[in-house]
Every structure is written in structure tokens, then in C-alpha cells.
Amino acid sequence: MGRRFRGESHHKVDSKGRVSIPASFRRVLEACDPNWQQTGDNPELVIVYGDDSRKFLECYTMEAIEEVDAKIAQLPRGSFQRKLLERMFNGQSLPTTVDETGRLVLPAKLRNKIGLEGEAFFIASGDTFQIWKPQTYEEVEMAEVEKRMAELPEGFDPLQFLDGAGGV
């Protein structure tokens, strides 16, 4: 597994759908793109937009999307699970590149899908990052996290989730 995305930030979206990618995110995209070269091509990524239930765009490094593709290929051809995942990761996605100034160009279809205008909220999610309309992130994602945190026992330390996970 390659480098991981870390952090969150807000960036302006212009009328043509261009938005700057956080600099640290660009370094991860470069490191996780086997075809990227410092003196040549811009890094590639895949934006998965999915169906109407997804209120954000999820951006995969080339390494991460290849890992997903390999797992999908292991499923039985013609199975419901494989068809569903192929539709989402192959059909409802957009392969793209970072432009020479470190920006993404988000087509109107993707901006309209998540109601993005004026400003985008980027948040890291390990080997992917998400792009949200800032208000939607606050109303949907943060509300869900707060609700789940309220269900935990008082004084619960989230680091306990790592116990038994084969991690730290």
C-alpha cells in the first residue's frame, strides 16, 4: 500500500469546475501513480461518484483503484455483487488527471450531483479522499459521526477500536 492522505481543507471552485487539490494530496497521488514522472505526465486518479445515495465524490489513487479492481475481479462473473461493484467503480466513475497547476476539473455532471458551487471541502480517508459540498458534509457526515459518538459509553477512547484490528 502506498502513502495515505491526511487532513482536510476548503478550496474555491471556479465557474469552469476547476478546484485546487491540497498540495499534500497531490504528493500522494504522484507517489501512488506508477506512470507518473516528475518531469512528464501529471498524476492520474479515478473519481467515483456512484448513485444518488452518495453525497460526495471519492477520489482514488491509481494504486487504490487497482486494488479495488483486483478484488472485484475475484467475484464470480455475473454475480449481483460483481455487477453492483462494476457499475459503481467502472460505470459511475471518471478517470482523470491533475492539471499542470495542481487542479482538478470537475465536470458539471459531478458538480451538479453533489450541489457543488463556489467552494469544495476535501477530507482524507486513508487511500482515498472525498470532495463534499461543505454544507452537506456538516449536515450529513458530521451529524452521523456526532450521533454515533453519543451512543458510545462516557469516556470511551476511540483508540480502543484499534485493539484486535491487527494494527497499532
Confidence band for 165, pLDDT divided at 50, 70 and 90? low
Tell me the domains of the chain and their CATH numbers: 8-153 (3.40.1550.20)
| pLDDT band of 160, cuts 50, 70, 90 | confident
Q: What is the rounded distance in angstroms from the CA atom of residue 160 to the CA atom of residue 145?
A: 17
CA separation for the pair 90, 87 (Å, rounded)? 6
Higher pLDDT, 83 or 168: 83
pLDDT one-digit tens code per residue, 11-48 = 999 999 999 999 999 999 999 998 887 656 799 999 99
Longest CA span, the chain = 53
pLDDT at 144: 86
Identify the pLDDT of residue 28: 95
pTM, full prediction: 0.88
Give pLDDT, residue 75. Answer: 97
**8-12 vs 119-125, strand pairing mode:** antiparallel
What are 10's three cell numbers? 476548503
Give residue-wise pLDDT tens across range 128-155. Answer: 999 999 999 999 888 888 888 888 888 8
What pLDDT is attached to residue 147? 87
Dihedral, 135, 140, 145, 146 alpha carbons, nearest 10:
70
* pLDDT band at residue 109 under the 50/70/90 scheme: very high
Which of 55, 57, 137 has its CA nearest to residue 96? Answer: 57
Q: What is the dihedral of CA 52, 7, 121, 55, to 10 degrees?
A: 10
Cβ burial, residue 80 (10 Å; 0-12/13-18/19+): exposed
Per-residue model confidence (pLDDT) at position 143:
85
Which residue in 147, 150, 120 sits closest to 132, CA to CA?
Answer: 120
